[in-house]
Amino acid sequence: MARVSTSLSPKRGEWVKGKLIGSGSFGTVHLAMSKSTGGLFVVKSAHTRAELAALENEVEILKNLEPSPYIVQYLGSERHGDDLNVLMEYMAGGSLADIAEKFGGSLQEDVVRLYTKEILKGLKYLHGNGIVHCDLKCKNVLLGSSGDIKLADFGCARRVEDLKNKSLMKKNTKSLEYVSGTPLWMAPEVLRNEELDFSADIWSLGCTVIEMATGRPPWGASKHDSDPMAVLLKIACGDEIPKLPTHCTKEGLDFLRRCLDRDSRKRWTCEELLRHPFVSRDSSVTTPPSSPKDAASSPVSVLGISSFDDAYDLEEPESPEGNDLSVIKPFTLCKDGRTMPRHGDECALCSSQNWITVRS
C-alpha cells in the first residue's frame, strides 16, 4: 500500500534522464526531469544483484511510509528486465558531507544544532514506525535549497519486527544474519554481534554530530587509528568513545555523551534528546527515567560485502592513512568478552581510500 501521491510520480516515458551525479553500493544516481512539468528529481538505478538488493530494501521501507518533511520522498519505481530505477526527491544542497567541505571543512556549532534537531525529528519518525536506519552519517543526510534536512539512503534500514522474527529463526537454525552500515559509525554492540535496535541509530547520531563539527569521520583523527582492524576492535571491545570536539560548548559535549554511552540501555531516546538544551535551548536537562527501554533488540551479525559511496556525492571525506583493507572477517564474541575474527565467513570490504558502507 504505497503512500506516494500519483501526481508526484512521473509515469514511464514521461521523464528524461540527465547527467550522472552520484554512484555507490546502491548503483548510480542521475538527475532527471519530468516532461510534463519540467520538475527535477533523481533516479537511482541498480544493475547488479547486490545493488538491486539494496534498492529493493529502500523501496520496501519507503513505499509504506507516510510522506514526512524529514525523510527524502520516494516517488515511484520502474523495472526494465533485471534493472531497477527508483525515482526520488531531488535535494539541491547535496549531503551534509558536501556542505561541510564547501564551507571550510566543518560546520559552526549553531548550524550543527539546527541540523541535529532536524535529524532527530527524522529519526523519531522512523523509530515511531519501527524502523532502524542503520547507516546514519553526513553522507546520508541531504539538504534542500531552503535549509530543509532529510534522511536518505535506506538500503541498510531494518524493521524491528523483521529483526525479531529473524532472531527467532537464527536461534533455531544457527544461521547468520548480517547487519549493514558503515563501521566507523556503528555502535559497539552491533559490531559485537549482540543486538540492533533504535539505540544503534543514537550512537550513529553522536558520530554524525562529531563529523559535522570536525569535518572528519569519528575514530579517524590519530595515527594510532590507521589500522582498520585495530579500530574495529577498539570500537567493539574497548571502553572508549570517539574523541569529542574540543571546541564544543558544554551543552554540545553533554549531548554527545548522552548519545555515545557504550551501554545501549543508557543512551537517550530521540524524544529525550529533542528536549536537550543543545537542540532545544531549554534551561535544564531532564534526566531520562531509569526504567529499561521498551525498544526491541535482536541478535545480529555484521559486516557484509559491499562497495562504497552514498547519496549524490562522488567525493569522499579524508580518512586515516594506511587503511587499505581488502578483507575483514565478522567478529564473534568470546567467553571472556573479547571478539575474534570469524574463520570461514570472510567478508570483503573493498574500499578505494575510505571506510565503506557494508550491506547485507
- Hey, which residues are catalytic here? 135
Q: Are 161 and 271 in contact (CB under 8 A)?
A: no
Q: Are 9 and 15 in contact (CB under 8 A)?
A: no
Q: Are 48 and 37 in contact (CB under 8 A)?
A: no
The C-alpha atoms of residue 253 and residue 37 are separated, in whole angstroms, by 47
The C-alpha atoms of residue 123 and residue 127 are separated, in whole angstroms, by 6
Buried b (16+ CB within 10 A) or exposed e, 123-149: bbbbbeeebbbbbbbbbbbbbbeeeeb
3-state secondary structure of 167: helix
Q: How far is CA 248 from the centre of its chain?
A: 23
Strand partners, 291: none
Q: CA 108, 111, 113: angle at the middle one, nearest 5?
A: 110
Q: How far is the first Cα of the chain from the last one, in angstroms, to the nearest whole number?
A: 25
The C-alpha atoms of residue 138 and residue 136 are separated, in whole angstroms, by 7
Q: DSSP string of 267-318?
A: SPPHHHHHTSHHHH--SSPPPPP-SPP-------EE---B----TT--S---
Q: What is the CA radius of gyration of the chain?
A: 20
| Nearest CA among 182, 249, 244, 187 for reference residue 210 | 244
User: Which grid cell sits at 338?
Assistant: 573479547
Helix %, strand %, coil % of the chain (to 5): 35, 20, 50
